[in-house]
């Protein structure tokens, strides 16, 4: 998993509450188990018309959001079924960070385990970020995980809280497998003690 320390990028604003995982990546695209290739189907039912053309009314299809790497959205983002494909699709599309007042618990944990940073801010702070995003042709934020801050180029600084264990895992780029491999020597020693082999056993006969 790639580490996350600090990222600066364009903000895309998705002004919707209760965005569920079936809208993030619809169920018909869940056939693959690789983590790549899902980005083209992100928000499929909203991004595209029935004829396959882009829907100009969908927020993320606005030209100013095309190179966005930070997604600003509303409460309870990622609710619904617990599909890990949702953070895969968001990352494959190009997003590195999500900012919202709240996330569904399972989705939040899936993001952390895949290197996608979910930042929770207050409703008031989110409202101000939406105002600034919509008032500029291209609004940029810096998300600093080391300092636990969200900053813009106009002096706005918003601190955020995160579980220290999750923060350290993201900073070091460690998923569940990576954390386990850090204990490789102790695991091998434990296995040797429990399975000493034929030579060691011979001395006890």
Domain 6-173, CATH? 3.20.19.10
Write down the pLDDT at residue 200.
Answer: 52
pLDDT digits (tens, 9 = 90+) for 105-151: 999 999 999 999 999 999 999 999 999 999 999 999 999 999 999 99
Tokens of 15: 């002004």
Provide CB contacts within 8 A for 56, sequence distance 6+: none
Q: Which position has the higher pLDDT, 194 or 73?
A: 73
Q: Is the confidence at residue 169, as pLDDT, over 50?
A: yes
Q: Compute the mean pLDDT over every residue in the chain, rounded to the nearest whole number.
A: 90
Rounded average pLDDT over 166-178: 82
Categorize the per-residue pLDDT at 201 as very low, low, confident or very high, splitting at 50, 70 and 90: very low
């Amino acid at each position: 998993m790639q580490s996350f320390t600090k990222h600066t990028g364009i903000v895309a604003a998705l002004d919707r509450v209760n965005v569920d995982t079936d809208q993030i990546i619809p169920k018909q695209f869940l056939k693959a188990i690789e983590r790549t290739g899902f980005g083209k189907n992100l928000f499929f039912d909203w991004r595209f018309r029935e004829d396959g053309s882009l829907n100009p009314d969908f927020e993320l299809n606005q030209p100013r959001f095309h190179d966005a790497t930070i997604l600003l959205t509303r409460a309870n983002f990622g609710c619904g079924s617990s599909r890990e494909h949702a953070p895969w699709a968001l990352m494959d599309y190009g997003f590195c960070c999500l900012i919202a007042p709240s996330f569904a618990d399972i989705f939040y944990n899936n993001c952390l385990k895949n290197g996608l940073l979910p930042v929770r801010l207050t409703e008031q702070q989110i409202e101000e970020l939406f105002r600034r995003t919509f008032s500029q042709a291209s609004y940029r934020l810096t998300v600093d995980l080391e300092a636990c801050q969200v900053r813009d180029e106009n002096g706005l600084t918003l601190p955020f809280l995160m579980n220290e264990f999750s923060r350290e895992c993201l900073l070091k780029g460690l998923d569940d497998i990576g954390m386990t491999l850090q204990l490789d020597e102790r695991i091998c020693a434990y296995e040797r003690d429990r399975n000493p082999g034929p030579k060691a056993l011979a001395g006890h006969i």
